[in-house]
Amino acid sequence: MGQGAYKITDAEGIDEIRALDLNGKLLKYEKADHQIDFVFKLEAIPSGVVLFEVKNKLGSLPC
């Protein structure tokens, strides 16, 4: 089971970030509120893989 902390740095201009598992299940959601860094502490991820989707004023972009 994968678990750990994932850090997204230099997030200027990002309005929100979603962490998803491989099935598209939402693991965590963060609204920006002018943050520079995001840290996601996630537990019990069966695949050990996390997909991040970021959204800004221009729309969504998976990373």
Per-residue pLDDT tens for 11-61?
677 778 888 888 888 888 878 766 666 677 776 666 667 777 777 766 555
Query: What's the pTM value of the predicted model, to 2 decimals?
Result: 0.61
pLDDT in tens, 11-23: 677 778 888 888 8
User: Burial, 54: exposed, middle or buried (Cβ in 10 Å; 0-12, 13-18, 19+)?
Assistant: buried
Ranges of each domain in the chain: 2-57
Residue 4, pLDDT score: 66
Q: Radius of gyration over alpha carbons of the chain, in Å? A: 12
pLDDT for 56? 74
